[in-house]
């Protein structure tokens, strides 16, 4: 989409200041493309350089992470934490451990996090972090040694009133445990609120594991309701089989839909009877196996070529990684009858794919709205930690449902207000932006 004339210089400045960071450029352009009506109505946002300031992180931290593997060899990785915007509260966002991680990925994720956290209605700012460390194939002891070295540097920059990391790709409860243990050791404080995604018996929140997947499905349910439909009898395809995808699959089944395909980095399976959530969880969470094992045990097709988006469906939930749906795959989904797409991952659809969805009248929910359930429940975990309290699964799930319904309503109402009816992308971008922008104006030039 074209940018408003008042925003061209800002985007050009982003490109010049951040060379080679394609994902960050994409994330910024996607938000700026929605803000034309906003700057026309509120020129003070441009005059006070709010948008320009919003595109520049408050702090970017890069550090060396040395550790020793099981064979006694010294390994070196690079760690990152981008503390992007704290106008609404302490920085909040996950840590990603994956070989693809570099500064541009972390900045794109942190930028998206600002608006996602704003939309959640919780008092949290936006940040993100991680490392190019690959936990796959590493022993528990290697992962522990890496996490401890990573936290030796990170602990100086975080705190429950400053910056509260959580998990993301490659960082689950095991890694959070090692990170929190080292934080407690070096600070001599049991500061539960400094990390979220903790184990239930040591400060964690029920539903946190399920939250992002559940939240994506709750948002999709609201989209369906807005069109007088439900999940009943709907064919659903979910990409991925990690934490987000797993619990999206579980919730879709609970609401009456049938997930007919899911994937991992090795390929995808098709199960016309509906993916068996219990077996898939056993393979992925306990055995840490591949999706092909599911196909072998259920005697269903597995493909290591093509795309999971080749499987016909009415609802697509991309829950794997950024830019996983390109223009060609979007056209395939449209041709095969898909009518709803809700992003469970961060920016999984390319700009070209989103444009094709819009042209075809697909109901499309961007990740900053549809996958906000994870960070929302992280904020609920912070509340419990602050009050030394624990909540039941049902109570926390109800809170999550309320938050996702609220996000859906804000997206639709804001899209209507700015002349973009039913445009969830515009609604999410504008609603998330205005709340942060108003806080930045109130706090002065800081």
pTM above the 0.85 mark?
Answer: yes
Question: Whose CA is closest to 215, among 407, 411, 430, 349?
Answer: 407
Using 70 as the pLDDT threshold, list the residues of the chain that sit under it. Answer: 1
Domain-wise residue ranges, the chain:
59-190, 211-361
- List of residues 6+ apart from 21 with CB closer than 8 A: 103, 104, 107, 108
pLDDT at 193: 96
pLDDT value at residue 1 = 65
Which of 8-17's residues contact partners 24+ apart within 8 Å by CB, and which partners?
10/51, 10/52, 10/55, 13/52, 13/55, 14/55, 17/56
Share of the chain above pLDDT 90, in %: 96
Q: Please tell me the CATH superfamily of domain 211-361, with its number.
A: NAD(P)-binding Rossmann-like Domain (3.40.50.720)
59-190, CATH topology level: Rossmann fold (3.40.50)
Q: Is 16 exposed, middle or buried (0-12, 13-18, 19+ CB in 10 A)?
A: exposed
Find the catalytic residue in 6, 41, 107, 128.
128
Binding residues for substrate: 92, 113, 116, 167, 378
Beta bridge partners of 270: 261
Radius of gyration of the CA atoms of the chain, in A: 21
Q: CB under 8 Å to 76, separation ≥6 — which residues?
A: 64, 65, 66
Instruction: State the binding site for NAD(+).
Output: 212, 243
Q: Do domains 59-190 and 211-361 have the same CATH topology?
A: yes
Pair 78, 103: CB distance under 8 Å:
no
Write the pLDDT tens digit of every residue in 241-265.
999 999 999 999 999 999 999 999 9
**Does 298 participate in catalysis according to the annotation?**
no
pLDDT value at residue 288:
87
At 176-220, the pLDDT tens digits run: 999 999 999 999 999 999 999 999 999 999 999 999 999 999 999
Tallying the residues shown for the chain, one arrives at 446
């Amino acid at each position: 989409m074209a940018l408003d004339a008042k925003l061209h210089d800002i985007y050009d400045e982003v490109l010049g200041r951040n060379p080679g960071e394609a994902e960050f450029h994409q994330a910024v352009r996607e938000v700026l493309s929605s803000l034309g009506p906003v700057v026309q109505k509120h020129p003070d946002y441009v005059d006070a350089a709010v948008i320009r300031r919003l595109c520049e992180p408050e702090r970017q931290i890069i550090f060396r992470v040395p550790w020793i593997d099981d064979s006694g060899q010294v390994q070196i990785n690079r760690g990152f934490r981008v503390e992007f915007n704290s106008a609404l509260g302490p920085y909040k966002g996950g840590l990603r451990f994956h070989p693809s991680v570099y500064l541009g990925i972390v900045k794109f994720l942190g930028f998206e996090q600002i608006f996602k956290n704003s939309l959640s209605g919780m008092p949290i700012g936006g940040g993100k972090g991680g490392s190019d460390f690959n936990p796959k194939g590493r022993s528990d002891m290697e992962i522990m040694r890496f996490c401890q070295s990573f936290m030796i540097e990170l602990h100086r920059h975080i705190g429950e009133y400053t910056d509260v990391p959580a998990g993301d790709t490659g960082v689950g409860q095991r890694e959070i445990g090692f990170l929190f243990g080292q934080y407690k050791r070096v600070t001599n404080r049991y500061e539960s609120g400094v990390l979220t995604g903790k184990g239930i018996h040591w400060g964690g929140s029920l539903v946190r594991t399920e939250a992002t997947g559940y939240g994506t499905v709750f948002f999709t349910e609201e989209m369906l309701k807005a069109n007088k439909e439900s999940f009943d009898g709907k064919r659903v395809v979910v990409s991925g089989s990690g934490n987000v995808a797993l619990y999206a699959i579980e919730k879709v089944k609970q609401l009456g839909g049938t997930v007919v395909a899911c994937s991992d980095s090795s390929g995808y399976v098709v199960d016309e009877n509906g993916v068996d959530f219990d077996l898939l969880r056993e393979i992925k969470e306990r055995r840490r196996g591949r999706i092909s094992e599911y196909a072998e045990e259920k005697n269903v097709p597995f493909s290591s070529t093509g795309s999971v988006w080749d499987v016909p469906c009415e609802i697509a939930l991309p829950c794997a990684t950024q830019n996983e749906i390109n223009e060609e795959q979007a056209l395939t989904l449209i041709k095969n009858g898909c009518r709803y797409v809700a992003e469970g991952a961060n920016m999984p659809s390319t700009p070209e794919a989103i444009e094709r969805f819009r042209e075809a009248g697909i109901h499309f929910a961007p990740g900053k709205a549809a996958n906000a359930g994870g960070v929302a429940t992280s904020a609920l975990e912070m509340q419990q930690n602050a009050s030394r309290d624990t909540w039941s699964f049902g109570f926390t799930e109800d809170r999550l449902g309320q938050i996702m319904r609220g996000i859906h309503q804000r997206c639709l109402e804001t899209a209507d207000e700015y002349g973009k009816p039913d445009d969830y992308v515009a609604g999410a971008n504008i609603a998330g932006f205005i709340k942060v922008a108003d806080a930045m104006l109130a706090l002065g030039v800081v």
